Each structure stands twice: as C-alpha cells, then as structure tokens.
Amino acid sequence: MIMEEKKSMTIEQLLEAMTAKMGRSPETMVLLSQVNESAVFEHAANQNFAMSGAHIPPKYKLLINLAASAAMGAEKCINNYTNMALRSGISKEEIVEALVLARFVKASSVMSASTDALRMVVNYEK
C-alpha cells in the first residue's frame, strides 16, 4: 500500500493489515498506537517505501531484512522476518543461511572496527 492509502485507513485497519501480513499481532506497533498513532502510520509508510523498489525480488528483501535484523541483534524483528519468510515460502535452509551470513558480517565488523587498535598494537614500541 502506498502512503495515501495508509492515511485513509484507521489505526485498527492498519494493525489488522500488519497482523495479516505477519501472521500475528505486531505487539510493538499495537503498544505504540496507544501512545502515538502517527508513528505507526509513519513506520508502515517507511516500510512500504523500503520494500517498493523493483530491482530486488521480495524473497531477497525479506532475507536481507532478516540478516540485517540479526546483525543488529533486534530480536523482535528477527522473529517477525523469520515468520514472514516462512509464511511466504522461503525455505528453512535459506533462512538459516541468511542468519549465518549475518553472523559472519557481525563478526567481521568487530575486526574492521578494531583496525586502529590493531595498527596501534603493531606499531607499538616500548
């Protein structure tokens, strides 16, 4: 749905659409809606924009989202994207492979972020 369509929906309709897409109630969005409905609509619009590109197939977008969520340690997002991936027919093996890739990237970022420290260690003279 595009942003204009979302604006014409009630918050209840938006949350129902999210539930249908995810296969379960989006607890974080339900809670947020009780404090700031506009933030939920903005979140939905941002997600729709991010997913609207035509060059990456939807299956790969879900796997990218899953891997990024895993690398960031966002447990609710990991669970949501895993559930959506399974519901959309992505295999268990593909999901696990995306998680393994995320693990590699996360681990590699530790070394990459340590470049200055490694340079300091290598160049250290007593």
pLDDT digits (tens, 9 = 90+) for 90-122: 999 999 999 999 999 999 999 999 999 999 999
**pLDDT at res. 8:** 87
22-55 burial, b at 16+ Cβ within 10 Å, e below that, comes to beeebeebeebbeeeeeebbebbbeeeeeeeeee
The string of pLDDT tens digits covering residues 58-88 is 999 999 999 999 999 999 999 999 999 999 9
**What are φ and ψ of residue 35, in 5° steps?**
-110, -40
Listed in sequence order, the DSSP H helices in 1-126 are: 3-7, 11-22, 27-33, 37-51, 58-72, 75-87, 92-113, 115-123
Domains of the chain: 1-52 (no CATH), 55-126 (1.20.1290.10)
Alpha carbon distance 87, 34 (integer Å): 28
pLDDT at 1 over 90: no
